[in-house]
Amino acid sequence: MGWSMLEDKNHGSKSRLYLVQPTEEYKDKILNFKKEFFESGDTLYGTENLQHMSSFEEWLLKVYNNRYEETVEPGKAPSYEFMAIREWDRTLIGMINLRYNLKKEMYLYYGNIGYCVRKTERRKGYAAEMLRLTLLEAKTIGLNQVLLTVDNDNQASISTMKKNGAILENEVPYNGKITQRYWIKCE
């Protein structure tokens, strides 16, 4: 998986951030991550619906099955789930989902990538770096560009996408809000 050097403001040095796919080995980290989001009232975007899974094992099986066209949930696009781990302390910083072969609704409103960063690690540049590393993964599976969508009032996510070269294509109404659709080249 991809590696990155990112300035760690709290430790005054560069720290490595890398992407890894979830396995049983990360169960405690993932459940702790889920708990933090639940306690803060945030939504776990880009996590294969982790917030609604009754067990870790059920979620992990879903993550595995959704990698392949033959076993993906009906109406969903096949996808790869990644965890962004900070090397120096092995903290699970965020999760990011890379979807391919988008179905119609996913193409219009969800896009190829969804992500979230734990509240305690926001505003440190991690989301932009996670997205950059995922763009490298997208290239390895044959995507030349990816579509990302965002509510038009989510300035933090818009900024994250623009740091990675996102170009606004259009805006569409969705669920009582305005969704912006951005394209990013996988270079």
Tens digits of residue pLDDT in 18-51: 999 999 999 999 999 999 999 988 888 889 999 9
Contact 64, 92 (CB under 8 A): no
Block residue for tokens 């979807």: 99
Query: For residue range 56-98, what is the model confidence (pLDDT) as tens digits?
Result: 999 999 999 999 999 999 889 999 999 999 999 999 999 999 9
Find all residues with CB under 8 Å of 124, minimum gap 6, and list them: 6, 8, 9
| pTM for this predicted structure | 0.90
Residue keyed to tokens 């979620």: 59
Instruction: Report the side by side order of strands in the sheet with 177-185.
Output: 145-151, 177-185, 167-174
Bridge-partner residues for 94, per DSSP?
Answer: 84, 117
CATH number of 3-185: 3.40.630.30
Residue 109 pLDDT = 83
Q: For 124-143, what is the mean pLDDT?
A: 96
Are the CB atoms for 157 and 150 separated by under 8 Å? yes
Q: CA-to-CA distance for 145 and 8, rounded, in angstroms? A: 29
Collapsing DSSP states into helix, strand and coil, what is residue 1?
coil
* Strand-pair partners of 5: 16
Strand order in the sheet with 3-8: 3-8, 13-20, 79-86, 91-99, 113-117
Q: By percentage, how much of the chain surpasses pLDDT 90?
A: 79
pLDDT at site 11: 43
CA dist 113 and 54 (Å) reads 24
In this prediction, residue 8 carries a pLDDT of 47
pLDDT exceeds 70 at position 124: yes
> Kind of pairing, strands 113-117 and 145-151?
unpaired
H-helix or E-strand spanning residue 58: helix 56-65
